[in-house]
Every structure is written in structure tokens, then in C-alpha cells.
Amino acid sequence: MNLFGQNKEVKKAPAAPQASTPAPPGVLDAALFEGLPTFHDADTLNRLFRVFKEEAVTAKVERPRVMSTALDAGRGTGSVRGYALRKFGEEVRPVIFLSAPRSETGGSFAPVDQPLSPGEPIQFHYGAAIPTTKEVKTLNFTAKGVYLATSIYVPQDPNNPGKPWSGTREQAEKVFGKEYLVRGEEVLEVRVSDVSAFSHRTAALTRDVLANYIFTPKIYILPGGGPWNKRSQGSGHYFEGVPNDIATLLEKTEGIKAVTSGLVLVECGVDTVSLTHPEMIMADVDHEAARPMMLRDPNKNLREINAGLGFLLEFEVSDPIREALMRTMPNKAGKETFVYLPLNLAGTVQLSTGGWRYNFLIFPRDLVEDRGAQRKRGGLGLKFAPLYALHPKSEDQNTYRKLMIAIGQRIKDDSKPENERAKIASVASAMEARQREMHDKHVDDKLKQAFQKRQEARRQKDMGA
């Protein structure tokens, strides 16, 4: 059909499809890294991990269980020594060999009272240059898996050239003799279940983006430490709760320092927050941990500072973010329009332009408040969500993660064309109007009858009792 008035062309026989040239070994299809992909299958992970054989890769290693019960434990930095493919039942999975992580926050990666146990969740973050069919992409990755064992790792297996050897100390001594002490290294074996890729610093939001959704940041410094610095008596790993709400706590804490003027929220990452301020924010706080000698080089005294001082970040959020947060975290601490995040100081950097940059870790246990009937029954006003109350995918079940998800969704919505945003707003408005109209109405006669029958049955039961 000649739709646009062009001369009729003679149809040519379609050319035979050309076979696509397969990517060379070690090169991944660029389409795999569109968006924020997560890889699960062993074949893709095997190709993704080949970078570990070509270069030394440093990783930030985390133990989520320990991080949820300790201030400065469960985090460390190690090196990926290599990997191997192993069969678990009918499934083949990659096993990563990580050098023993060393803590950078003054605590311990594996405290004496919380040793590593087989099956414990482990996650680690690393960056690497990955060759793709289009270009070499520098990406950041977050890998999740479970701890298997601590073993001796030797880069070359004498019986299987080109592959690493790993095993217990006893096995290493049988194979290598005392030489294993020189040739081998103690590593953690982690079976990897999935890896997520990020084209930027892992899910970080910068100042220019945050300024549209977060306002008036303020940081409180509590001498003696906040409630998250203290363990409750007789309750094991549960941190101490507070009878009052967040506003009363801040009002009644003596010697508290609030910093607002000049404070800038410059970045929010995965459980990390970075702030800048022209001065040393811990100066003039009346506590041993804030003495001038301690603040001369804060990075050398992080453990003492975090034990003696509590850091609490407060900021206001825009209405769309507030609505999203209250739908998903109705018991978050503070008023609806405010967010409160307990922090641990992870490090400071003195800026060449003057002032300081402060890097904080988000406290892993969520800060919540009882409201309404729960509060009237005498429960604690301010407390930390216990571990058993967290969803199996707990990384998305605290206030900070919900905040990042809400901002990410809002950024996506704001980037849509104006007419599409108007259409979405119109549909949302119509749905809200319909919900208000039908509120407290029985729209289904069968449902109404079933409800009445249950009420009558309950009344008869109560009368019989």
C-alpha cells in the first residue's frame, strides 16, 4: 500500500539472517547491564567473577546479623582472592574466597561472643571494570550469600594446575606440609546467591537530587551516647528503649548540641550519610569523648567517640515522600513530616576548601515509636524494632531504606513527560475520590450478609459464655 505517495518499489527477497557473532570469553553482553540488574544464574556469575582472576579486588564485607546488634562490629574490608564453582545438591554455585576482613570502625568483624557460623548471611560490596560488547564499564556490585567455612586458600592446586586449592588446616598440612603456612592464607568461603550491579556509586543520591526532597537537616550530638549506645539489662542484644517520644528525649537530654547553620547533606548511599560543615561539630560538647585531644584526629578515636557520643540526624521531607513513608512505616519516630536517623561516625575528612566532611553509618536497627492505644497501655515510647519483627528481606524494611525507595520512585515519576504525569495524577485523584465515597459502605450484599452472620455468631457465643 502506497500510504505517502512514494513510487511503488519492487519487493526484494529478504536477505538470509546473519548469525550473530558470539562475544569472546570474558566479555559480557552490554544489554545485561541496562537499568539496575541482579544476576542469579551460575553461568553469568562465573563470567562476572573472572575479573577476580585478573586483578586484586577490595571488598567491603558485612554481617547483617551482627550489625543489627552491635555498634561497631560486623563490618570489615577484605580482598577477593578468587572463586570456584561447586555443586550443592543438583545446583552449581560460585564460592568466593575472601581474605579475613579487618574492621575500620574500631570494632571487630567477628567478635569473640559472635563467631561466624555456617549458613550465616554475608554481603559484600566491590567495584570492578567489566569488559562488555560495547565498552569496558566500571561498575559497582553488591553480592549476597552465606558463609560456609573458614579455610586455608592456596592460589595454585598442585594436582589441578590453573585452579585454586582450599581446605582445612589439617588437609593443608597433609597436601603442602608446613609450607602451607607460607603459600596459604586464611579466607572466608562464601557461597554467592545473587549479585546486583550499579553504574554509579552504589545507589548513592547526591546533594543536587536530595535538595528536591529533603530540607533543613539538623544533627544532634548527645553526650553520653544515645539510647542506641546502651544495652538493656537482662534483654540480651536488645537495645535500651526510652519511655518518652523523640521530641521529649531531645528536650530532656542535658548538654545536647544541635547543629543546623552551615550543615549540608551532600550524599546518601547504602546505609551511609555524608554531611559537611565549616567547623568541627563535636567541639564544645561536654564529654570525655569530645576533648580536643580526641578531636585532633577523630579517625583514630572512632570507637571512643561512638561509645561516648550519640549522633541523631533530623530533616524534613516533601509531601509526596511523607505520604509514601507513612504508608509503609506508620510507626516511624517523630512527626509525619520529619525523619530521625540514629548514626555512627565512620570517618572525617578535612576539606581543602575549609571545613569538614563527616561520613556516618546508619544504625541498623530501626527507631520506632508506639502511638495511640499501644502507647496508652504503658509501652515504651521510643524503641528499636527487634530482629524477629523484620521482614525476611529486611534491607527494605527500615525507615532509611524506605526513604531511599520513596525518593527513587519519586525521581522516576518526576522524570516522566508532563502529560503522562497529569494522567497519573488524574487517575490517582479519581481513585482517592472513589475511596472516600465508598468509605464505610458495604458494596457487596454477600459480604455484608457474611459480616452480619459473624457478628450474630459472636453475640450468641458471648451470651452463652
Residues 6+ apart with CB under 8 A from 182: none
Q: Rounded CA gap, 145 and 122, in Å?
A: 5
Statement: residue 17 has pLDDT above 60 = no
Whole-number Cα distances in Å, 257 to 222, 281, 295, 385: 7, 9, 16, 26
Looking at residue 226, its pLDDT comes to 67
Q: Which residue has 499501644 as its cell numbers?
A: 374
pLDDT band at residue 414 using 50, 70 and 90 as cut-offs = confident
User: In 106-243, at which residue ranges do the beta strands (DSSP E only) sit?
Assistant: 121-131, 136-154, 165-167, 185-198, 205-206, 214-223
d(CA 452, CA 461) in angstroms, rounded, equals 14
> What phi and psi values does residue 455 have, to the nearest 5 degrees?
-65, -45
The stretch 48-54 carries a mean pLDDT of 87
pLDDT, tens digit, 9 for 90 and up, residues 272-323? 899 999 999 999 988 888 899 889 999 888 888 888 888 999 999 999 899 8
**pTM exceeds cut of 0.75:** no
Q: pLDDT band at residue 188, thresholds of 50, 70 and 90?
A: very high
Burial class of residue 436 in the structure, from the number of CB atoms within 10 Å of its CB (0-12 exposed, 13-18 middle, 19+ buried): exposed
Q: Which tens digits make up the pLDDT trace of 132-181?
A: 888 788 888 889 999 999 998 888 887 888 788 888 888 888 888 877 77
Span 253-284, pLDDT tens digits: 888 999 999 999 998 887 789 999 999 999 99
Distance CA 443, CA 83 (A): 59
Query: Environment class of residue 238 by beta-carbon count within 10 Å: exposed (0-12), middle (13-18) or buried (19+)?
Result: middle
Beta strands in 404-449 (DSSP E): none
